[in-house]
Amino acid sequence: MLFLGGCGGTAGQKDNIQYVQVNVTNNSVATASYDSSNALLVLDGDTSFANFWSGNIPGDNLVIDLGSVMPIAKITVFLFDPKASMNQTYGLSKDGVVWRETMQLSGGEVPCTTGFSIGPTKVSCKPGVASSSGNAADGAYQARYFRITMNKSNVVFQVYEVEILGWVASD
């Protein structure tokens, strides 16, 4: 687990190394069990409703590989209808085999430290455990993979963008 000193927010320090939050999906790979040609659209930086990936039936999934295990600061999924997100399972994994559920209204194997947030066009979560130090990075969950799996048939579940912020050492 990564523990950072400081007062929280978007930067921290450990062992005289400065850490910052960055969008770690910029160099990531997205794959899907259905509509795979549109999987990379969720990583193109476009949060408008123009291009999207959509699951079709229960079991369809979208997986984002961050390339290496890292502490996750925040996950935001941009959707056509955020209320439809309750028909999906969101998971984090270090190895792509063992998955831990997250982004639930309450609890989950990897709870959201500030709660699961549903906005007009997105859902978001800061996965991990609450920090008693007041530092936002303490307790950040470490993962390499993020997965969205359809639980019910839902034609309006359209993912436009996935943004994952991770804690990384600054140059």
pLDDT digits (tens, 9 = 90+) for 102-147: 887 666 778 787 667 777 788 888 887 666 655 555 668 899 999 9
Phi first, then psi, for residue 85 (nearest 5°) are -65, -20
The domain made up of 15-169 has a fold known as Jelly Rolls (2.60.120)
Structural tokens at position 94:
């270090």
Beta bridge partners of 147: 63, 91
What pLDDT is recorded for position 28? 95
Residue 131: its pLDDT value, please? 60
pTM above 0.95, yes or no: no
The rounded percent of the chain whose pLDDT value lies above 70 is 77
| Average pLDDT over the chain, rounded to an integer | 81
Percent of the chain having pLDDT more than 90? 39
pLDDT at residue 9 above 50? no
Question: The tokens of 9 are what?
Answer: 């927010």
Is residue 167 pLDDT above 80, yes or no?
yes
Left, alpha or beta for 149 (phi > 0: left; psi -120 to 50: alpha)?
Answer: beta
**3 band by pLDDT with thresholds 50, 70 and 90:** very low
Is 37 strand, coil or helix?
helix
Q: Where are the domains of the chain?
A: 15-169
